Structure 1
Amino acid sequence: MPRTEILDQIQKYIHPFRIASGKGFQLKDFDPGDTRGLKMEKGEAADLLQRGTQWLAEEQDMLYAQDRWSLLLVFQAMDAAGKDSTIKHVMSGVNPQGCQVFSFKQPSREDLAHDFMWRYVTRLPERGRIGIFNRSYYEEVLVVRVHEDILKRQRLPPSLMGKQIWDERLADIARFEDYLSRQGIVVLKFFLHLSRDEQKKRFMKRLDNPEKNWKFSASDVHERKYWRDYMSSYEAAIAATASDQAPWYVVPADNRWFTRLVVAAAVVEAVEKLDLAYPKVSPEQKKELAAVRAELARDA
């Protein structure tokens, strides 16, 4: 099937979840269990995902060779939504040389000595590469907003820590992403939208499976108490920072196979729009290559 036809088909599984303007956005309008009526066997979904990852691998090779654009993929979600596995499956065919993944944990002392964006800016992808933020600067308006005691550790002047700080930070993030888009960095943001019931099921599976116990932390259950606060913070963040240059994708996460398909399709569509191609060899370069070939041919 030609690529144009494939892109036409996958759009109906991407665009309903793409948020390019925050006006009127409400998280309750999105169903974590939605699959857009698509029903697939596990093997079918895996086959379709494989085709998407192969396509992405081809595009990434040209992205790296062209060395002009770069791609920043931001993943945000509640615990157990499947960020790690989604990244693993979607990027499975990509050359590691052209991909950089960063997971941001609790800030270090050095991080806290700088502005809230500092540690993220230092990890932006180089030209020709795909950068992946497994959690990101959005934590500064999510977990820090839910747990304001964390904000106190950032040692800001008291006069700058009023209620307006969240609107100010969201405005800073929106302007920052606009800046990135003008530097050739394509920004795609994914919120893996997991239901509270499905999170509980996945937590129970981790507890019941000894091989998965290592993934479980008592703090995960503790954070469930703040579910409404987190959803409110996510809604505010998406509404304030969604744009054509840096869209959000509110991806249903209750069905892992569908989550991966939507993410893969969104990335493929974005990269395809860049109209990438391998660099063309100039006449001078061709002459140089011909001379090198002749020299090698003479080499005994």
Structure 2
Amino acid sequence: MDISKYKVEKNKKLKLKDYDTKEDHGIEEKELSEERLAESIEKLKDLHWRLHAEEKRGIVVVLQAMDAAGKDEAISYIFSNLTAQGLTTASFQKPSETELKHDYLWRIREGLPARGQIGILNRSHYEEVIFPRVHKDELKDEMYPDDMNKDEVWPMRFRQINDFEQHLSENGFEVIKFFFNMSKEEQRERLLERMKDPKKNWEFSFNDVKERRHWDTYQEVFEDMLNHTSTEFAPWYILPADDELYSRYIITEVMVNCLEKIDPQFPEISDEDKKKMDEAINELENEKK
């Protein structure tokens, strides 16, 4: 797979309407699921074990999208295959009273991975340049400098986010970001399915329909976000999210590519520990049954 076609290049002035929400990739569903995606997940599992064992680097994975775009399903389908000890998952909704008393990046740190881990941010610090722009009354005066016009906040926050992600990258934590590009019609069908199927009612939130009314504004805000925060050290990848299975394949391939560049290795034990290991093996093999 050529993952570069989904990567947003730095300083590229993209238009979301130019990105397909579903593409004709020519792969049969059975081949995609049972062969290509399965093989890619196996590679990811092996590389993740090495990352966890080595404990030198970490990876931050950002998932951003409209409701019902497939973030939760991607986490379950892909990342549930990885060892739990080397995985963290955090979701971010509307800030709590405690979180609002701190700077907007404060709460994100709790969800960051340690070395040897992949940390998944289901929504993220990007909520702070999305939701308050769509709902302008959510940005309070105390959240930005006194001498700043409210419209100037967003370029400032884009810079701050880029600096924050560069800090992570320079300290051994790769940052990979996925935007689920879903069509309005596809979201409509998925929301209706959640409402009509009793087994899926629990997935539905009335707020999903409320936020859908701001669809066009969200698309404009997403587009601005992608244009200003895709960098060499923390790129965005735009997924054709109407096709959930293929989107998962892209995510897995991007993750494999990242880990292959890191090239983590299982630690080698010292000669002293090797001698102790041989003695322990000998002791156990000669135990009386």
Q: TM-score, normalised by structure 1?
A: 0.90
Aligned residue for 1:44?
A: 31
- Is 2:147 the counterpart of 1:175? no
Aligned residue for 2:68?
A: 80
Aligned residue for 1:213?
A: 201
- Superposition deviation, residue 162 in structure 1: 2.3
Aligned residue for 1:16?
A: 5
Instruction: Give the whole-Å Cα distance in 2 for the aligned partners of 1:190 and 1:180.
Output: 17
- Would you say the 8 A contact 1:77–1:193 is kept in 2? yes
- Is 2:266 the counterpart of 1:278? yes
Post-superposition Cα deviations, 1:277-298, rounded to whole Å, max 9, x if no partner, equal 1112222222232344455567
- 1:207 partner letter: M
- Would you say the 8 A contact 1:203–1:216 is kept in 2? yes
- Would you say the 8 A contact 1:49–1:90 is kept in 2? no
Tell me the SS of whatever aligns to 2:178.
strand
- Superposition deviation, residue 76 in structure 1: 0.2
Aligned residue for 1:6?
A: none
Instruction: Give the whole-Å Cα distance in 2 for the aligned partners of 1:160 and 1:285.
Output: 60
Post-superposition Cα deviations, 1:5-47, rounded to whole Å, max 9, x if no partner, equal xxxxx2x2x2111113132222222111124x32312x32221
Instruction: Give the whole-Å Cα distance in 2 for the aligned partners of 1:200 and 1:288.
Output: 63
- Would you say the 8 A contact 1:82–1:256 is kept in 2? yes
- 2:27 partner letter: K
- Would you say the 8 A contact 2:89–2:111 is kept in 1? no
Tell me the SS of whatever aligns to 2:275.
helix
Aligned residue for 1:34?
A: 23
Among candidates 114, 123, 140, match of residue 111 of structure 2: 123
Larger displacement relative to structure 2 (161-170 or 171-180) = 161-170
- Would you say the 8 A contact 1:112–1:153 is kept in 2? no
Among candidates 45, 48, 65, match of residue 60 of structure 1: 48
Larger displacement relative to structure 2 (139-148 or 22-31) = 22-31
- Would you say the 8 A contact 1:53–1:92 is kept in 2? no
Instruction: Give the whole-Å Cα distance in 1 for the aligned partners of 2:238 and 2:276.
Output: 51
- Superposition deviation, residue 210 in structure 1: 1.5
Aligned residue for 1:69?
A: 57
The share of aligned pairs that are identical, in percent, is 37
Instruction: Give the whole-Å Cα distance in 1 for the aligned partners of 2:128 and 2:42.
Output: 35
**Between Structure 1 and Structure 2, how many residues are aligned?**
287
Aligned ranges 1:81-160 → 2 under 5 Å: 81-152=69-140, 156=144, 158-160=146-148
- Superposition deviation, residue 155 in structure 1: 5.0
- Which stretches in structure 2 are left out of the alignment for 5+ residues? none
Among candidates 216, 225, 229, match of residue 241 of structure 1: 229
**Runs of 4+ in structure 1 over 4 Å off:** 153-158, 294-300
Instruction: Give the whole-Å Cα distance in 1 for the aligned partners of 2:11 and 2:143.
Output: 31
Aligned residue for 1:259?
A: 247
- Would you say the 8 A contact 2:64–2:124 is kept in 1? yes
Instruction: Give the whole-Å Cα distance in 2 for the aligned partners of 1:209 and 1:282.
Output: 58
Tell me the SS of whatever aligns to 1:79.
coil
- Would you say the 8 A contact 2:7–2:236 is kept in 1? yes
- 1:135 partner letter: R
- Superposition deviation, residue 219 in structure 1: 1.7
- Superposition deviation, residue 160 in structure 1: 4.3
Instruction: Give the whole-Å Cα distance in 2 for the aligned partners of 1:187 and 1:55.
Output: 19
- Superposition deviation, residue 72 in structure 1: 0.7
